[in-house]
Amino acid sequence: MFNYENFSIRPIEINDKNRILQWRNSERVRCNMYNDSLISQQEHDAWFACALAEIPVPYLIFLYEGKGIGFISFRNISAANGRCYWSFYLGEADVPLGAGSVMEFFALDYAFMNLKIRKLCCEVFSFINRGVIKLHEKFGFVQEGRFVDHYLKNDKYEDIVCLAKFGTNWIDERETFKSRLFGKVRN
């Protein structure tokens, strides 16, 4: 599918079920999610069964040297509007420097080249994810809005930053990102 150097992405498979639940229930990942409660095996099994059946494939595993280290999802895919939302996380803590950037590059390529999305959107908590916001901006995402005091988290209302990227120039941009990115990835 998408493969460069030691990194690749692929659709989720049945063998990923337990790993995704483990990642999603880790405190490191949960603290950045809207739903930060622990997910039961039963809830996860129901979600996973639906996820495997979705076409086009909106759930991907990000791999390094053939080992799953992260998760990418696309949701609310609207063919009529050429738009969808996406999210991602590194499930493993011990990953090569630059892995998050590589994962974002693969996700953008998948969205614009495979899903044929015109506009890719995401929402990010402003209080925790400043680094993620900067990463998105590095790849050309623009802040389109901010939901102030929008979501109750840890007994406090938090802001959500709304970002989007249009795929209009992705063919040209992807080569620039690719040449910058893969020269900097190291263990």
pLDDT of residue 90: 95
CA distance 111 to 181: 18
Report how far residue 35's alpha carbon sits from residue 87's, in angstroms, rounded to the nearest whole number: 13
CA distance 104 to 113: 14
**The predicted structure's pLDDT at residue 2:** 63
Domain boundaries, the chain: 2-182
Q: In the CATH hierarchy, which fold is given to the domain comprising 2-182?
A: Aminopeptidase (3.40.630)
Q: What is the pLDDT of residue 185?
A: 44
Q: Is 114 helix (H, G, I), strand (E, B) or coil?
A: helix
Task: Give the amino acid at 130.
Answer: R
Strand partners, 153: 156
Note the pTM of the prediction, 2 decimals. 0.90
Q: Give the pLDDT score at 19.
A: 96
Q: Please, what sign has the CA dihedral across residues 125, 28, 99, 43?
A: negative
Task: Give the CA angle between residues 135, 136, 140 to the nearest 5°.
Answer: 120
* Residue ranges of the chain whose pLDDT lies below 50: 185-187
